[in-house]
Amino acid sequence: MGSKWYTNRWVIILLHTVCWAFIFSLPYLLRPSIDPQKASDFLKTKNLQYLIFINRAILVCLFYFNAFFIVPRFIYKRKFWAYGILLVSLFIVVLIADWAAFSFLITGFSYKIKNFFSFNTFPILFILASSTAYKMINDRVKEDRLQKEKENENLKTELSLLRSQVSPHFMFNIMNNMVALARKGSAQLEPSLIRLSSLLRYMLYETDAKVSLQKEIEYLQSYIDLQKQRFGNHVTIKSCMQNVDKDYEIEPMLLIPFVENAFKHGTGLIENAEIDIELTAKNDMLYFNVRNKYNDQFEITFHNQLAVVQSVSNKSDHREDPKDETPGIGLANVKRRLNLLYAKNHSLLINKKNGWFTISLQLNLH
């Protein structure tokens, strides 16, 4: 993840310099004008500006010393008594430094300790409080940024894993289709393999980022066509996926698990099996509905299904393909991907009623 411009080292130094220049210029900007003839003798003292500069330099050093040395070692470690003792020591050190600078630069005036506390107590406490707040806020921002980067990396890793899981699951079902066609000695095997080749090309080379919705529709239609070849007239398959009002983009292979699920659980030993698929996209919204008939009687256990199917296959030229025993990662996969990629920009409803299993997805494509 690229760093923001304001995290650049030289930008930070420049911002700190500007802030200090503004803070130290405020007394000059806000002070009332004074007639030089009425100014006190002390204000006319030679080297007074040097003394003021040294005092401010001490405050700047105190700010960064407190922020980068004292706070991490005492505040963060909850050594408050040691921190209090250190603050008292700092006052004494600053007092000695101020006295030494005054004695060296100012002549004709005696140094008064009470004046030091009168004029420096509030600035020192303000600098210490400001540097403590600065350090804690800065560290919190860095921690939040690092946490966000970790979460983004984790999401990328999880999405890559979820996407990688789609392909094997899809191939598992498709190869079952090819096996079924081969068993029947169907002339449709060759065109089915050609169509499978185009599907694989899409999966391998066009799913690294978002794809156009039209390509995803073509991908779904190819899959549906393969299933039509497999089941022929034994399953009624209705699909309508052409009502798209403009070019949209969508995460690749996001919709296929719904269709796979319909063919997995809506075929086999189901009377008048039917699968309906409808997709429309208008006004930046995708509406995707998949429904299939189901029969709970034959979904109790896989082994009972397999025994019945094998019995039927011995008495009929048409061989019904049993459902695969694997529970499938399709729906769980796509739910997780939707939550990661579209968050609150989607609505997924799953309904099982009156012999129909229905999935309705609304997706904000904007």
Q: What is the mean pLDDT of each run of 10 residues along the chain (366 residues)?
A: 61 78 67 50 62 83 88 87 88 87 77 80 86 89 80 63 56 75 78 79 70 88 83 88 83 85 84 92 92 72 44 42 47 78 89 91 91
Distance CA(140)–CA(58), nearest Å, equals 27
pLDDT number for residue 102: 81
Alpha helices in the chain (DSSP H): 9-30, 48-65, 80-105, 113-184, 189-205, 213-231, 256-265, 302-313, 330-341
Cβ atoms within 10 Å, residue 270: 20
pLDDT number for residue 290: 95
**Cβ–Cβ < 8 Å for 324, 173:** yes
Cβ atoms within 10 Å, residue 232: 11
Tokens of 172: 């598992």
CA distances from 16 to 6, 10, 12, 56, 282 (A): 12, 10, 6, 14, 51
CA distances from 74 to 78, 86, 131, 134, 138 (A): 6, 9, 14, 15, 17
Stretch(es) of the chain classified as CATH 3.30.565.10: 180-364
Distance CA(211)–CA(214), nearest Å, equals 8
Fold of the CATH domain 180-364: Heat Shock Protein 90 (3.30.565)
- Chain-centroid distance of CA 360 in Å reads 25
pTM: 0.53
Cβ atoms within 10 Å, residue 210: 14
Give the CB-side neighbour count of residue 271, counting CA atoms within 13 A: 3
**Cβ–Cβ < 8 Å for 340, 156:** no
pLDDT number for residue 277: 95
Closest CA to 107 of 50, 37, 36: 50
pLDDT number for residue 231: 79
How do beta strands 211-212 and 249-250 pair? antiparallel
pLDDT number for residue 196: 79
